[in-house]
């Protein structure tokens, strides 16, 4: 009798797997580096996940056709992406937001605080009227 019960249970296992579809992919930034802890959610559902250390994610959905996923992370512009049947997105590239672009371009005020050439010229050796001022 146990064998019949086990056979019945094992025969239903494939049916449970068919009702769920998997969406997987990888989130990277403009330089190709993985984005850690980006939120990935299926539009208009409660299904949400976060990327791991190498930017990979996996979502489970009960729908059997294309999905719209929304991706958000601090420092990046939010992105919406359509996934067709099959569920593999490949690499999705997130673009930097305005603040990070300013920092990377050197057009923010942080340039003088963090780069040695400007720090060396303006702080260690300030220009004064005829006197050489030393910090030491």
**Is position 106 within any domain?**
yes
- pTM value is 0.64
Q: Check residue 121 and give its pLDDT.
A: 56
Quote the tokens at residue 75: 């420092």
Together in a domain, 25 and 92: yes
Over 80: is that where the pLDDT of 9 sits?
Answer: no
Together in a domain, 47 and 90: yes
Domain residues for the domain of 38 are 21-96
The pLDDT tens digits for 74-120 are 999 999 999 986 788 989 999 999 888 887 776 666 555 555 555 55
**Is position 3 within any domain?**
no
- Could you tell me what percentage of the chain is helix, strand and coil, using 3-state DSSP and rounding each to the nearest 5? 30, 30, 40
Together in a domain, 50 and 107: no
**Is position 108 within any domain?**
yes
The pLDDT tens digits for 29-40 are 999 999 999 999
CA–CA separation, 100 vs 26, rounded Å? Answer: 21
Name the residue with tokens 């086990």: 6
Together in a domain, 77 and 61: yes
The pLDDT tens digits for 41-52 are 999 889 999 999
Together in a domain, 112 and 77: no
């Amino acid at each position: 009798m146990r064998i019949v019960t086990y056979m019945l249970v094992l025969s239903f296992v494939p049916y449970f797997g068919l009702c769920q579809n998997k969406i997987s992919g990888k989130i990277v930034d403009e330089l190709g580096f993985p984005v850690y802890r980006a939120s990935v959610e299926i539009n208009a559902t409660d299904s949400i996940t976060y990327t791991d250390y190498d930017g990979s994610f996996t979502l489970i959905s009960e729908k059997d056709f294309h999905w719209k996923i929304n991706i958000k992370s601090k420092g990046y512009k939010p992105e919406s992406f359509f996934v067709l049947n099959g569920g593999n997105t490949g690499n999705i590239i997130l673009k930097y937001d305005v603040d990070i672009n300013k920092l990377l371009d050197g057009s923010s005020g942080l340039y003088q605080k963090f780069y040695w050439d400007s720090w060396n010229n303006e702080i260690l050796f300030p220009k004064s009227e005829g006197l050489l001022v030393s910090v030491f």
